Structure 1
Amino acid sequence: MNDLLALAADPSAWFALATLIVMEVVLGIDNLVFIAIVSQKLPEHQRSKARRIGIGLSLILRIALLFTISTIIRLTTPVISVLGQGFSWRDIILIAGGLFLVYKATSEIHQAVDPMEGGEEKIKPPTSFSSAIFQILLLDLVFSLDSIITAVGMTEHLPIMIIAVLTAVGAMLLAADPLANFIHRNPTIVMLALGFLLLIGATLIAEGFGFHFPKGYIYTAMAFSGLVEGLNMFARKRRSPKA
């Protein structure tokens, strides 16, 4: 208890907490976009439930990972070498997660662009509830490992990390349904979101191979694309009454 009080009185601890919360919330955008895409494949009455259960289980997963920080840190140690380049378990997990994101986004884009097969519309069966939850947890594991390893470099205090995670996941719970409904109401946003997933997947693969991209560049590009699409939506709404 005394340690917690001393931590609360430390200005550097508050600065680290604020920085971590911002980082977790920003990284949560990737998760929310993926959750919105996956949950839209479910029957309408299951979508909100799947998003809440997926995010809730993600919170449990992240808290559990925080209590295994010493193990997670060791995941950055190279375990295999291919053509003279070492790969750690973290690298392997990032590459696998990136490949999954690229596959998922590519298949969804193909379905959206070319829904016709053999002259008839190709109708895909709805995603099962358990499959949607599994996909959400799988990607959250990849994002969680990356964010926790980054967090360890910013602070060594576990309570700060837990508070940051709780705050970020709370924000995700509040934003999940509005974001998913917004994407569902605007079909062009779906394609933009799938493009974001492709970009994130390619970035994860590059990170796994040792190419590090500043996250600010990536999120700035995503924000700029979102702004342009927002202007397009505004222009279409202004033209529609005249039409």
Structure 2
Amino acid sequence: MPEFMSAFMTDALVISILQIIAIDIILGGDNAIIIALACRDLPAHQKKLGILWGTAGAIILRVILVFFATTLLTVPGLKLIGGLLLLWIGVKLLMENDDESEHKVNSSKGLASAIRTIIIADFVMSLDNSIAIAAAAKGNMYLVVFGLLLSVPIIIGGSAIILKLMSRYPVIITMGAGLLGWLAGDLIVHDPLLKAYLTQHIPYADIVVAGGFAAAVIISGRILATRHKPV
């Protein structure tokens, strides 16, 4: 019996570890994208600083939120506010022109602005990430710490790779902003204030609302970017 229980506990531990690794890879990509988007117009010597500070902010937020995520996600209106924040961030990032961004002229302001944008977005996106890690860890704080530490290299490495890809393929910037719109819609449709109404009145509400907001971010961001271009 003890041997059986020991084997069971070992298997359960391995499964939890694999789940946490998968969560970090999947959800850590969102954080990497927002960091890359926010830092893409910084001078080369400040991009690494932006990635490091942005990652530090994301991890600190996860450490705090992992203890409160279950409660926070049930607060009516919180996901709605978070979704609206992500919408604003997605449009704002898409408006910034790579070639003519003022961040390149005023680098100190650009770095501070990038870090602020990253932290706001990370706060919103880390809610689901934190509760996912906590659920997979099943109360084991060692596994929670493991999950938080593992996310560091994933976010840093992912941000660096995405930044390089953005310089070669600018369409990734548009896709990243659309992803923020999708995440915003997903948050909003699952807010306790709206979930019952939206799912009752809109067929496939999850996909329709998320897809609609993704398209809205891309379209509005492009229109506003065009209007703000110098003549």
Partner Cα separation in structure 1 for residue 122 and residue 73 of structure 2: 18
Amino acid at match of 2:62: R
TM-score, structure 2 as length reference? 0.69
Say if 2:132 is the partner of 1:160. Answer: no
Counterparts of 1:153-232 in structure 2, within 5 Å, are 153-154=135-136, 155-208=138-191, 209-210=194-195, 213=206
Residue ranges of structure 2 left out of the alignment (5+ in a row) = 1-5, 104-108, 200-204, 212-231
Letter aligned with residue 15 of structure 2: F
Q: How far is the alpha carbon of 1:110 from its aligned partner?
A: 4.9
Indicate the percent of aligned positions where both proteins have the same amino acid. 22
More helix by share: 2
Three-state SS of the structure 2 residue aligned to 1:41 is coil
State whether residues 7 and 13 of structure 1, in contact with CA within 8 Å, keep that contact through their aligned partners in structure 2: no
CA-based RMSD: 3.0
Aligned to 1:60: 60
Q: Which has the higher strand share?
A: 1
**Kindly tell me: are residues 7 and 95 of structure 1, through their superposed partners in 2, closer, same or farther at Cα, counting changes over 3 Å?**
farther
Deviation (angstroms), 1:15: 0.5
User: Which residues of structure 1 form unaligned runs of 5+?
Assistant: 1-5, 79-86, 116-120, 219-243
Q: Deviations over 1:70-90 (max 9, x none)?
A: x44332444xxxxxxxx1xxx
TM-score for both structures, normalised by structure 1: 0.66
* Match of residue 42 from structure 1: 42
Amino acid at match of 1:143: M
Give 2:70's match in structure 1, choosing from 64, 70, 73.
Answer: 73
Q: Is the 8 A contact 2:87 2:180 kept in 1?
A: yes
Name segments (4+ residues, structure 1) moved above 4 Å.
Answer: 6-9, 211-214
- 1:96 correspondence with 2:73: no
The 1:75–1:107 alpha-carbon spacing in structure 2 relative to 1, beyond 3 Å, is closer
What corresponds to 2:130 in structure 1? 148
> How many residues are aligned here?
188
SS at match of 1:10: helix
Cα shift at 1:36: 0.9
Structure 2 Cα separation of the partners of residues 109 and 60 of structure 1: 27
